[in-house]
Structure 1
Amino acid sequence: MTVDDRFRQDYQDTVRDRPPGVRNEIITGPVSDWATDFSHAEPEWAADPYPIQDELRSRCPIARTERFGGGWLPTRYEDVASIAYDTERFSSRAIIMSNFRPPKEAAPVGGSPPISSDPPFHHHARKLLLPAFTKSAVTQREEATRAFCHRLIDALEGKEVVDAARDYAQHIPMRVIADMLGFPPEDGPRFRVFIENLLEGINLPPEERTARVESLYDYLLDQIRDHVERPRDDLTTYLVDAELGGQKLHPSHVAGTMALLLIAGIDTTWSAIGASLWHLARTPADRERLVADPGLLPTAMEEFLRAYAPVTMARLVREDMRWQGVDMKADDWILLSFPAANRDPAQFDRAGEVVIDREVNRHAAFGLGIHRCVGSHLARMELRVALEVWLERFPVFGLADPAAVTWATGQVRGPRTLPLRIG
């Protein structure tokens, strides 16, 4: 059996043929009461979740839903942080709240280590990735990222209206992650499909969702085969050659980590760039201030991350328990809303406002606890460079049609279409 055959067979044995877990029926439809029937898959949530979260925080800080097989939504920073740090009572074996639960046997590794891993395995899986995401490693990618941003802007020059989400924001992390993993840069359009399938397709019938997930892993296994045959200096070859406890990583571990880097590494940053540009397009005073004082951008960027945090993660309750006054059952979902935590008035002064010179800003946009984003240095670099180049090349811009802006549904929220008028 060739190395490629081993990767493919082991993946099928451990991922495709594992016990099916718990599946539930269709989960979308009008919400009757957000406190007892919440759903992050609804269009009103995607369009503007903040008033919903604010109302829940004041009326019912831990909302309940019977959708998804049952789940909870804490909206206070204190509760979100408490769950994020508590790996004894809350498992990370599934981080996408949907109509499917992986079986308990999936822990402690999960499908996409280390984000889906529980201790003690998580520590070792995360440690493997740290060298690729240090500040010094990220700094080495800044020049190429800046040059790529300028090439994207070059292609937009002369246009009166541009889609800053589709024509600019999405391409930046696609190129950076493709370069890191050693994937063909022309495969960017396929990455977008993978992202939409995994993060926005949670209401699909399980069979169709499984087929779409398999298309991603088929692609990743093709990349693994190519790297086994032609090793080079990139993150995929590093993962193929890596060891834990003196053993090569299991093929499902390699493919799962690659999936994590591809999906999360692209969509989160794409969304953060787009949301920042959306804010500046609709807030001329902030845009003009940053154009006049570029040195303020790193501070403003942290505020954009706080106010428009793109990522919400999920956890699963390990055992029946009473927690913060509610009775949670084993395998109940917890929708861990970092965006809601970031707008808690008990944690942030003027929490509902975007204050671009906010000095104290310990936001949770990159998560909290052991699963805090390993790629935060990379995301910050991409966001900063993307905004620097845009403001340098297009200092004057605004929303071409506010009603035409659309936002992603699901657990990573950012503009999917963002038509801006230049000049």
Structure 2
Amino acid sequence: MTVDDRFTQLSKEPDDRMPAIINEVVTGPVSDWATDFSHAEPEWAADPYPIQDDLRQRCPIAHTDRFGGAWLPTRYEDVSAIAYDTENFSSRAIIVSNVRPSLDLAPMGAVPPISSDPPFHQHARKLLLPAFTKTRVAALEPATRAFCHGLIDKLQGQEVVDAAHDYAQHIPMRVIADMLGFPPEDGPQFREFVESALEGINLPPEQRLQSSNELFDYLMKQIHDHLDNPRDDLTTYLIDAEIFGRKLEPNHVAGTMALLLIAGIDTTWSAIGASLWHLAKTPADRRRLVSQPDLLPTAMEELLRAFAPVTMARLVKHDMNWRGVDMKADDWILLSFPAANRDPAHFDRAGEVVIDREVNRHAAFGLGIHRCVGSHLARMELRVALEVWLERFPDFELADPERVTWATGQVRGPRTLPLRIG
């Protein structure tokens, strides 16, 4: 079968593995976060940290019947243990919602390698490593810096700007589009894909599956364009890549592209926005970074720790008692790296932002075999975005704290961030 035949077949034949176990999502006010939590509620999006701190003290592994049943560990040691435990927990589903992917998707999962279980995971991850080395990422920095300056140029002369909508979101969109060889003008579509996949977890299952199909239809269009016009980018690389001496299955190619597009945009968009939010409301930290720019790499790690955007998910593989709680097969585990990063048993002054913190082994990029393969890229984008912003706007503040809104779901970051720059 030729490369063209592989992808022609995929575009004509729907994946019959996609319809999975569908459970009703129960939404609405939480009665008790220890027994009825929901990360889709507005109070969680606005400020999850007091909730996590309370749970860590009185119920460190919370439970809910929502989403068909889920667990929420809040201690670093529990989050870490689950992240490393591939015998008892599967990665085939990483977004807690009303749809559980079919068992038939294992061990690859829908968006490899983050949805892959061992031993397949190792091979799927290894494919991506060359594209995300420090050397490859460094080559992207000049264009990223120039793009940031271009965004700032468009904001000049305004008194109040939305730093999330008009700055933060566009940076990873452009970087990922360039890496995958996608048209940069498709950015608005990328945002729709991100919001549907990560924030639309309470939508009817049929609507979520339709949105997923729209994403993969877009990816197929890009794949066919690359088949007709091969070029030096990640899409062509994945089309030509091999595992076990064979070219990748079409679902593997499209799934990895979906992962890079969705996760590569929202995580960095959220980290940039949260960092600017903190600096806008904390003038002492902002002034210090303006006067001591060499401190930014250290401060950046602390901002990643304190405002880690990503919460992952796992599925319980089999019925078991785990650290005193009775878990059932296919229960969700909401793996909160933000909660782990705020655990006072692991970090001194865990609830404070200490921008010169010297020892900072945070979990913002995950733990275990699925630690973010794009961490060098995310760090570069965050550093450059903050360097350019602080250089061009050294004096800024929140225009209206009440108008700041945060994304719901498993990637948390500002979605509206009005800053006064003039």
How far has the Cα of 1:10 moved from its partner?
2.8
The letter of the residue matching 1:295 is D
Counterpart for residue 151 of structure 1? 150
* Amino acid of the structure 2 residue aligned with 1:180: M
Spell out, residue by residue over 1:124-159, the C-alpha distance to the aligned partner (whole angstroms, 9 max, x if none).
000000000000000000000000000000000110
Secondary structure of 1:239's counterpart equals: helix
Distance 2:111 2:200 in 1: 18
Asked whether 1:198 is paired with 2:197, we answer yes
Structure 1 match to 2:350: 351
Query: Which residue matches 1:173?
Result: 172
Question: Which residue of structure 1 aligns with residue 9 of structure 2?
Answer: 9
Distance in structure 2 (CA, Å) of the matches to 1:245 and 1:363: 35
Paired position in structure 2 for 1:302: 301
What per-residue deviation string (whole Å, max 9, x for no partner) do you get for residues 136-191 of structure 1? 00000000000000000000011000000000000000000000000001111110
Q: Deviations over 1:290-345 (max 9, x none)?
A: 00000000000000000000000000000000001000000000000000000000
Aligned twin of 1:397: 396
Aligned residue number for residue 263 of structure 1: 262
The two structures, once aligned, show a CA RMSD in angstroms of 1.1
User: Partners of 1:415 and 1:332 in 2: how far apart?
Assistant: 29
Give the counterpart letter for 1:253 in structure 2.
H
Maintained 8 Å contact 1:309/1:338: yes
Q: Deviations over 1:36-59 (max 9, x none)?
A: 000000000000000000000001
Partner Cα separation in structure 1 for residue 28 and residue 148 of structure 2: 40
- Kept after mapping to 1: 8 A contact 2:37/2:64: yes
Paired-residue identity, %: 80
Match of 1:372 in 2: 371
Q: Which moved more, 1:309-318 or 1:4-13?
A: 4-13
In the TM superposition, residue 104 of structure 1 has moved relative to its aligned partner by: 1.4
Is this contact kept in 2: 1:8–1:221, CA < 8 A? no
SS at match of 1:141: helix
- The equivalent residue for 1:413 is 412
Cα distance in 2 for residues equivalent to 1:327 and 1:110: 26
The letter of the residue matching 2:105 is: A
Name the counterpart of 2:236. Answer: 237
Work out the CA distance in 1 between the residues paired with 2:247 and 2:409. 34
**Paired position in structure 1 for 2:312:** 313
Question: How many pairs were matched up?
Answer: 422
Residues 5 and 206 (structure 1 numbering): CA distance in 2 closer, same or farther, change over 3 Å?
Answer: farther
Structure 1 CA distance, aligned partners of 2:2 and 2:399? 55
8 A contact 1:11–1:251 mirrored in 2: no
Q: What residue ranges of structure 2 are gaps of 5+ in the alignment?
A: none
Q: Give the TM-score of the pair, scaled to structure 2.
A: 0.98
Task: Give the superposition deviation at 1:16.
Answer: 3.1
Q: Which residue pairs with 1:37 in the alignment?
A: 36
Unaligned runs of 5+ in 1: none
Query: Does the residue aligned with 1:140 lie in a helix, a strand or coil?
Result: helix
2:108 alignment partner in structure 1: 109
Distance apart, 1:26 and its partner CA = 3.0
Structure 2: which amino acid aligns with 1:314? Answer: A
Which letter does structure 2 place at the counterpart of 1:389?
Answer: V
**Residue of structure 2 in register with 1:382 after alignment:** 381
The AA in structure 1 aligned to 2:334 is L
Contact 2:179/2:234, CA 8 A, preserved across alignment:
yes
Shift of 1:2: 7.9
Residue 415 of structure 1 and its aligned partner are, at CA, apart by 0.2
Return structure 1 stretches of 4+ with deviation > 4 angstroms.
1-5
